Amino acid sequence: MSDQTFLAPERAAEHVSSTEQRTLRVLLAGPRGFCAGVDRAIRVVEEALRRYGAPVYVRHEIVHNRTVVEGLEAKGAIFVEELDEVPADGHVVFSAHGVPKAVPAEAERRNLLYLDATCPLVSKVHREAERHFAGGGPEQRHILMIGHAGHPEVVGTMGQLPQGAVTLINDADEARSVQPEDPSRLAFITQTTLSVDDTAEIVDILRTRFPDIEGPRREDICYATTNRQEAVKAIAPESDLVIVIGSPNSSNSQRLREVAERSGARRALLVPKLADLDWSVLEGVETLGISAGASAPETLVQEMVVALSEHFVLQIEERIVKKENVSFRLPGPLATSAD
């Protein structure tokens, strides 16, 4: 995603009622924005377009960000929700969130050429689920999946196993009330983008109620989710307002907003992009924290900072809590020449 569009200063000016320039301290959380799984998923679509030409179909938003989706649409991607919207000779990419096993099976039945952009860290959870299920044999455990109902990652992970093999645990109350058939043969897995703190509480409840439960050491929340939440925690206590740049359907972005609020920010807002910013929220704000969800391009952060600089004297500090150095190879059919 190299395209960078800055809002013309004249347009940004429409949003402010006062021309008086005062100082605004800006704390930029680091890490923020794209994770390795999102970067890879976007490269899969771009590389597919380059190799096969437009159109390339993408099942579900490749990542939950309208700017990313619109950028790829402009290059020839067509986003659909189900495979039956893909024509017989179409190339189709599965989104970073993962898909139930039935989806590639259906693509194969229809002889569609498909590319799987599921993040390797989501695929890892799929394999964990399969390992606990153990092919339905004598070692089989019933699986409790901690996650949010209806989210595509949850649908995809639960869809690795037959119906009934996985029970979804949405929150601590459900962890307290779930009544599994055999409490001695349980395992748990989690969505990768959950709140680290909420999930720790849920895991504690499950481990206390079911001491024999198997699972990861802590949970399956990925490095990127963990680091972005830590980074927001570091800036929130000093911030009058934290703006998290991200789309409303982005689970990890929503969690960052919650983390900011719970960690001491006076207020925290999810803002998809500069054009969605209600400038009145900045009234009385002396320190503004900014972060971005794992699916939000850095260009959106820069666009916001540039627009802010038109109206305030900015004192920008970047607070980096961790350096990241993760990247993933493209999936099989694209790996050789593009990586």
State in angstroms the smallest separation of the CB of 44 from ligand 0O3.
Answer: 12
The radius of gyration computed from the CA coordinates of the chain, to the nearest angstrom, equals 22
Q: What distance in Å separates the CA atoms of residue 45 and residue 246, rounded to the nearest whole number?
A: 20
Residue nearest to ligand 0O3 (CB): 250
Member of 48, 168, 169, 224 binding ligand SF4 (CB under 6 A) = 224
91 is in an annotated binding site: no
Task: Write each residue from 149 to 188 as x if it is in contact with ligand 0O3 (CB under 6 A), else as -, in one continuous string.
Answer: ----x-----------------------------------
Residue count, binding to ligand 0O3 (CB under 6 A): 18
The mark string for 128-167 relative to ligand SF4 (x by CB under 6 A, - otherwise) is ----------------------------------------
151 is an annotated ligand-binding site residue: yes
Summary count for the chain: helices (H), strands (E): 12, 12
> If binding is defined by CB under 6 A, does position 121 make contact with ligand SF4?
yes
Is residue 254 part of the contact set for ligand SF4 (CB under 6 A)? no
Write the burial class of residue 230 (CB in 10 Å: 0-12 exposed, 13-18 middle, 19+ buried).
middle
Burial code (b: 16+ CB inside 10 Å, e: under 16) for 184-202 equals ebbbbbbbbbbbbebbeeb
Take residue 86 and report the two structure tokens written for it: 């893909």
Calpha distance 134→136 (Å, rounded): 5
Among 18-26, 127-135, 206-214, 251-259, the segment contacting ligand 0O3 (CB under 6 A): 251-259
65 makes contact with ligand SF4 (CB under 6 A): no
Q: How far apart are CA 22 and CA 20, in angstroms?
A: 6
222 is in an annotated binding site: yes
Residue 36 is a binding residue for ligand SF4 (CB under 6 A): yes
Residue 45 touches ligand 0O3, criterion: CB under 6 A: no
Question: Is 153 annotated in the active site?
Answer: yes
Q: Does 227 bind ligand 0O3 (CB under 6 A)?
A: no
| Gap between the Cα atoms of 104 and 302, Å rounded | 38
Pick the catalytic residue: 47, 153, 219, 303? Answer: 153
Interface with ligand SF4: number of residues (CB under 6 A): 15
CA-CA-CA-CA torsion sign (196, 198, 201, 202): negative
Mapping DSSP to helix (H, G, I), strand (E, B) and coil, where does residue 46 land? helix
Which residues are part of a known binding site for isopentenyl diphosphate? 64, 97, 151, 250-252, 295
Supply the residues annotated as catalytic.
153
